[in-house]
């Protein structure tokens, strides 16, 4: 698993542990004041400290730990950060993805499922809403483009090598433990505690409507992907 110390990753880690799974994760870094550490999750999984650009490390972790399922949740998730640091965004979101998939492809034991956390941003700024799975991946900005690339690479490994890949397109996730104060819901809650009005950002032209996904519902979606559920 990647991204175990992140917002959605820690919820998925907790769920997997409660379900009796043995969890191994690669952490590029971790901070002592995060919920991942404070909750004790850090001590309940097998942590490997390393960089997602290190293919040999990823390959060794999969082979030495008998990994059967990979949840790839590690990515640079803030669009503004990706815009200001596109090289890092591509190295993490794109390079990290193909390194994991290649290691899965070369695993001596067949991988049961490789689940990739993508985003609705992979579809770019499509004028046609809502998004549907048959839309092309046409991201133009650095973050969007990195998710489009992640989608296409994942599909290539599925179609060319038969790797059992499942891709989740999720967006606007909220719930406990979200450290991103710039996001609408955690930012508004922090401002409410200070008795301040929330900050609502409106587009210059038109109006935006957004769907929000509760993090526990997201975890159930990941498990549905794991169990092979397909929407009729």
Res 161: pLDDT: 96
Per the domain annotation, does 221 fall within a domain?
yes
**Residue 75 and residue 167: Cα distance in Å, rounded?**
14
- 19-36 confidence digits (pLDDT tens): 999 999 998 777 777 788
- CATH code (residue 160): 3.40.50.720
Per the domain annotation, does 165 fall within a domain?
yes
Per the domain annotation, does 192 fall within a domain?
no
What confidence category does residue 78 fall into, taking pLDDT thresholds of 50, 70 and 90? Answer: low
Percentage, residues of the chain above pLDDT 70: 92
Res 6: pLDDT: 86
For the chain, helix (H) and strand (E) counts, in that order, are 9, 7
46 Cβ partners below 8 Å, 6+ apart? 22, 23, 24, 25, 65
Is the pLDDT at 232 greater than 50? The verdict is: no
Q: Taking the model in full, what pTM does it have?
A: 0.85
Q: What is the dihedral of CA 212, 215, 220, 223, to 10 degrees?
A: 110
- 151: containing domain: 7-174+214-226
- 164-207 confidence digits (pLDDT tens): 999 999 888 898 888 777 777 888 888 888 899 888 777 666 66
Per the domain annotation, does 127 fall within a domain?
yes
Per the domain annotation, does 77 fall within a domain?
yes
Domains held by the chain: number: 1
Per the domain annotation, does 94 fall within a domain?
yes
- Give the three-class secondary structure for 47: strand
The residues annotated as belonging to the active site are 143
Is the pLDDT at 14 greater than 50? The verdict is: yes
Is the pLDDT at 16 greater than 50? The verdict is: yes
Per the domain annotation, does 117 fall within a domain?
yes
Per the domain annotation, does 167 fall within a domain?
yes
């Amino acid at each position: 698993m990647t991204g175990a110390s992140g917002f959605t990753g820690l919820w998925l880690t907790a769920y997997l542990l409660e379900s009796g799974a043995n969890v191994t994760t690669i952490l590029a870094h971790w901070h002592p004041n995060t919920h991942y550490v404070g909750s004790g999750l850090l001590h309940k999984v097998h942590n490997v400290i390393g960089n997602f650009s290190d293919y040999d490390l990823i390959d060794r972790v999969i082979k030495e730990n008998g990994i059967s399922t990979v949840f790839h949740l590690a990515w640079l998730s803030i669009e503004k950060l990706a815009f200001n640091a596109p090289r890092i965004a591509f190295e993490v979101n794109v390079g990290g993805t193909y390194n994991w998939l290649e290691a899965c492809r070369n695993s001596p034991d067949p991988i049961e499922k490789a689940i990739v956390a993508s985003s609705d941003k992979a579809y770019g700024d499509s004028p046609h809403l809502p998004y549907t799975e048959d839309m092309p991946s046409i991201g133009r900005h650095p973050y969007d483009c990195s998710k489009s690339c992640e989608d296409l690479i994942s599909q290539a490994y599925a179609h060319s090598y038969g790797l059992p890949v499942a891709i989740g397109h999720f967006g606007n996730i909220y719930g406990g433990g979200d450290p991103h104060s710039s996001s609408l819901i955690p930012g508004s809650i922090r401002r409410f505690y200070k008795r301040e009005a929330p900050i609502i950002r409106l587009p210059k032209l038109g109006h935006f409507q957004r769907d929000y996904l509760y993090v526990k519902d997201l975890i159930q979606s990941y498990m549905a992907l794991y169990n092979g559920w397909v929407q009729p």
